[in-house]
Amino acid sequence: MRAAAGAGLLAALAALAACQSSPSRSVSDGAGKSAALRSMERVAIAAHRCWFATNDPAFRGYSFANELNSFSGRPRFLLVPKGNFGGRPLLVVQAQGPAGKVSAFGPLMDGPEGKRISADIDRWAAGNQECAPIG
């Protein structure tokens, strides 16, 4: 009796899964990546390389939390207090929409590095992967 009930449940779950629609995507490339994901991959790689791999003193007190595999359609990364990945984000950089528009917000944007962060993100989103001079 239990085997029959289990088989029935599996068949019902399989039928339900077959009825689910696939997630919609914004403008995508051949690999199925949305424009937002492509933009954020480019920006996140540059941010990690320029801000963290170089040991930039302006970013030593922060950790990089990557959330590119977002199901909200807004891939993003966060800067949080160093070693506190569950902490309140101090910077959120995300992309959305069919054009993959990148935006940044959070307390760090209002601080002394805000203009630099904005300039870096704008440059990387436009395709220029160069790092700004440190200092």
Mean pLDDT of 22-37: 56
**pLDDT digit string (tens) for 72-119?**
778 999 999 998 888 899 999 999 888 889 999 999 999 999 999 999
Domain boundaries, the chain: 31-125
Radius of gyration of the chain measured on its C-alpha atoms: 20
Query: Can you give the pTM of this predicted structure?
Result: 0.73
Instruction: Name which of 26-35, 99-108, 123-132 the model is least confident about.
Output: 26-35
Q: From residue 12, give the alpha-carbon distance in Å to each of 16, 22, 55, 105, 131.
A: 6, 19, 54, 44, 54
CB 118 within 8 A of CB 108: no
Q: Tell me, what's the pLDDT at 6?
A: 36
CA–CA separation, 127 vs 130, rounded Å? 9
